[in-house]
Amino acid sequence: MSTRKPTLAVVGATGAVGTVMLSILSQREDVWGEIRLVASERSAGRVLSVRGEDVVVQALTPEVFDGVDVAMFDVPDEVSATWAPIAVSRGVVVVDNSGAFRMDPDVPLVVPEVNPAQVRNRPKGIISNPNCTTLTMMDALGALHAGWGLKELVVASYQAASGAGQVGIERLYDEIAVLSGKREAGQHAGDVRATVNEKLGEDSPFPAPLALNVVPWAGSLKDGGWSSEELKVRNESRKILAIPDLKVSATCVRVPVVTTHSLAVHAVFEKPLTADDARQALVEARSVVVLDDPAAGEWPTPADVVGSDPTFVGRIRQALDFPNTIELFVCGDNLRKGAALNTAQIAELLAKELTTKSPDQD
């Protein structure tokens, strides 16, 4: 049995999610030998801390993957599409957080609490991490599907500014600063937009002002008026849960929250269940915390759970007019479980596989 700890590369180590990855690697059980930090040429040479050690960031080149066992990628789709196969060609198993490979039938889409066995089904040497919006609800839905069989899903998401990257965070803070002290703002049609655009310009990651507002759009335009984020919820839920004919409808909304996505979920099941049944299953589920006492004003909110690893669930109700249907509200930090943590958990499954593999196995 091998006792060598595998070598890990973090590609995109200087980005918003990459920074969270380094924090998570420093907090979780240390299953890695060397950890290499990799980023674009312009970031090469920076020194970042991981596991309490200073590590110099290396430029993304083919040679940087030599001797690496597992690489966690958090880079744009086009970068992953180019560089993940290069890493695989150097003997690396890639865990990719981009959208480049999620719907490839030869690439598993993995949530360790739901379908961990799929990590071994990787003919292309690549494992995909789901979109952060889908991931926010997947631990909870996986637990309920296991008991009652999910068949229909209607979702409204409330997505944080950080889902648009660091530029989204900065834009929200800038808009808040511009509107600070303007006590009349938001009381007349168009006044928020006029003030924000006058001070900050119209070059924004959001199609409308986000401060003092909600924007019913996230992602890019697809056929039929759907956004890419809404289609990801549909397609990725089907793949993760292995329900190819799951009926899904999603509306994705951007809200003035820095970090942590929320979803209002209407889930229809094949078998009868009560709210108490659902609540107990969620209490027992891995990585789910139930906060559900409306009489005491207890339910999850983004501001209360940001920076936490679990999925938080509340407002659990049996639908009044729909049989076998549960309504619930879910919150999850989109930079942690929605991205960095799930990627790290997948990589840890690979580390366990690599360290328990017999020497005569390849």
Q: Looking at the annotation, which residues are catalytic?
A: 132, 261
45: which 2 tokens?
């040479």
- Name the burial class of residue 85, with classes exposed (0-12), middle (13-18) and buried (19+) by CB atoms within 10 angstroms of its CB: middle
* Inter-axis angle of helices 16-27 and 341-355, nearest 10: 50
Cα–Cα distance list, 76 to 37, 39, 47, 100, 115 (Å): 17, 12, 22, 8, 25
Q: Output the CA–CA distances (angstroms, integers) from residue 88 to 71, 127, 238, in the order listed.
A: 9, 11, 27
Token pair in block for residue 313: 């669930």
Tell me whether strands 8-11 and 70-73 are parallel, antiparallel or unpaired.
parallel
Counting every residue written for the chain, the total comes to 362
Q: How many CA atoms lie within 13 A of 311 on its CB side?
A: 30
